[in-house]
């Protein structure tokens, strides 16, 4: 098979060119030989060969028996002998994975195959040891979700890693979404040295702990009503050796006024109904406080979040400046989790 050999020093330029011009045969492995690299090539015309040689005169065409790359196997491939192609086509391609637990969302008509599907997923994903399935939607004040066991190790407790932290949690008894890791990063990138931060609705501690481990904030206070989530948050603070996190158990409506404290930054990660708590966040704010208000809004009504903020500020005699509204995840078709960042001015 035809390859092109070039000295190590020129490798990057040649690779970039081959990729851009679709000449790099990605089905085969690159070869390193002494101080040179040999790239496998796709079929190319004599004219293309001349062009390549002109662009990289120090290169050399070479016939080589390249080693094929191993095709990564998909769990659907393992099911081909058991299930019909039409059933396999209906199977999901992405899942929520929290630590070693994979959470399946399975259509009612596929429930009879769930054990085979789960076994295939366990065989393909060596880091997954438990398969659960969604048995309900997130509901209630604690925003938890019933999950049923399907296969693997019988547990609902796992350790999840993101943004330089480890979080232990029971995925059924505590609300947690791995999909928010990028959003947590977006927030910690804004934090300045010495900030005093409040995280309302702190759950098992992802926001306070990620902020603590990735910023030079002075103090971070989390408030959470679900006693199980609060207990996990406390042990996660210990697990991550945080020095500046205080976690308080209880209803934010009762706990926050008792603190009688003003914060530099306030996070409100309760997208369903956080507007009912805006008056509390505003009472704990001062000139210069930045508030991150989460909400669910339809694609066509993304500005509704800002309207909720402005009307709460008006009612509570606060003036604010909207800094931005960002989409930070999809909730359902056409509906998004958004965050309105605003400044108390």
Ligand X SMILES: C[S@@+](CC[C@H](N)C(=O)[O-])C[C@H]1O[C@@H](n2cnc3c(N)ncnc32)[C@H](O)[C@@H]1O
Burial 221-230 (b: 16+ CB within 10 A, else e): bbbbbbebbb
Q: Which of 39, 66, 113, 175 binds ligand X (CB under 6 A)?
A: 175
Count other Cβ atoms within 10 Å, centred on residue 71.
8
What residues contact residue 280 under an 8 Å CB cut-off, 6+ apart?
200, 252, 253, 256, 257
Calculate the alpha carbon distances from 205 to 168, 225, 275 in Å: 10, 12, 22
Calculate the alpha carbon distances from 207 to 2, 99, 222, 242 in Å: 53, 17, 9, 12
* 119 interacts with ligand X by CB under 6 A: no
The Cα 16–Cα 60 span in angstroms is 17
Instruction: Supply the minimum distance, in Å, between the C-beta of residue 163 and ligand X.
Output: 12
Q: Report the phi/psi class of residue 334: left, alpha or beta, with left for phi > 0 and alpha for psi in -120 to 50.
A: left
Nearer to ligand X, 119 or 295 (CB): 295
Choices 8-16, 98-106, 249-257, 332-340 (CB under 6 A): range interacting with ligand X: 249-257
Asked if 208 and 222 count as a contact pair (C-beta separation under 8 A), the reply is yes
Nearer to ligand X, 223 or 284 (CB): 223
Choices 53-61, 111-119, 149-157, 225-233 (CB under 6 A): range interacting with ligand X: 225-233
User: Taking CB under 6 A as the rule, which mask of x and - marks residues 182-201 in contact with ligand X?
Assistant: -------------------x
Instruction: Supply the minimum distance, in Å, between the C-beta of residue 32 and ligand X.
Output: 45
Asked if 285 and 294 count as a contact pair (C-beta separation under 8 A), the reply is no
* 280 interacts with ligand X by CB under 6 A: no
Choices 11-19, 76-84, 148-156, 219-227 (CB under 6 A): range interacting with ligand X: 219-227
Q: Is 29 helix (H, G, I), strand (E, B) or coil?
A: coil
Choices 79-87, 91-99, 158-166, 251-259 (CB under 6 A): range interacting with ligand X: 251-259
* 141 interacts with ligand X by CB under 6 A: yes
Q: Which of 133, 143, 173, 318 binds ligand X (CB under 6 A)?
A: 143
Contacts with ligand X, residue ranges (CB under 6 A): 141-143, 175-176, 180, 201-203, 206-207, 223-226, 229, 251-253, 269-270
């Amino acid at each position: 098979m035809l390859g092109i050999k070039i000295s190590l020093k020129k490798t990057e330029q040649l690779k970039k060119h081959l990729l851009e011009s679709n000449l790099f045969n990605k089905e085969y492995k690159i070869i390193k030989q002494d101080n040179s690299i040999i790239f496998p090539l796709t079929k190319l015309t004599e004219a293309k060969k001349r062009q390549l040689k002109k662009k990289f005169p120090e290169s050399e065409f070479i016939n080589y028996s390249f080693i094929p790359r191993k095709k990564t196997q998909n769990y659907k491939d393992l099911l081909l002998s058991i299930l019909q192609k039409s059933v396999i086509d209906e199977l999901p391609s992405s899942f929520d994975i929290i630590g070693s637990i994979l959470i399946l969302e399975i259509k009612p008509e596929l429930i009879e195959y769930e054990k085979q599907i789960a076994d295939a997923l366990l065989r393909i994903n060596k880091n997954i040891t438990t398969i659960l399935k969604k048995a309900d939607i997130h509901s209630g004040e604690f925003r938890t979700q019933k999950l049923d066991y399907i296969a693997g190790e019988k547990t609902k407790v796992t350790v999840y890693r993101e943004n330089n932290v480890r979080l232990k949690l029971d995925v059924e008894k505590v609300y947690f979404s791995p999909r928010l890791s990028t959003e947590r990063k977006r927030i910690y990138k804004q934090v300045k040295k010495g900030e005093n931060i409040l995280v309302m609705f702190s759950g098992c501690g992802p926001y306070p702990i990620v902020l603590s481990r990735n910023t030079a904030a002075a103090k971070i206070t989390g408030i959470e009503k679900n006693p199980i989530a609060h207990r996990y948050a406390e042990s996660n603070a210990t697990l991550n050796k945080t020095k500046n996190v205080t976690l308080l158990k209880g209803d934010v409506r009762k706990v926050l006024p008792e603190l009688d404290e003003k914060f530099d930054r306030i996070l409100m990660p309760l997208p369903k109904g956080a507007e009912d708590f805006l008056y509390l966040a505003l009472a704990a704010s001062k000139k210069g406080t930045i508030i991150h208000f989460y909400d669910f809004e339809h694609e066509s009504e993304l500005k509704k979040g800002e309207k909720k903020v402005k009307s709460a500020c008006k009612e509570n005699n606060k003036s604010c400046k909207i800094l931005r509204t960002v989409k930070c995840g999809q909730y359902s078709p056409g509906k998004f989790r958004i965050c309105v960042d605003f400044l108390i001015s």
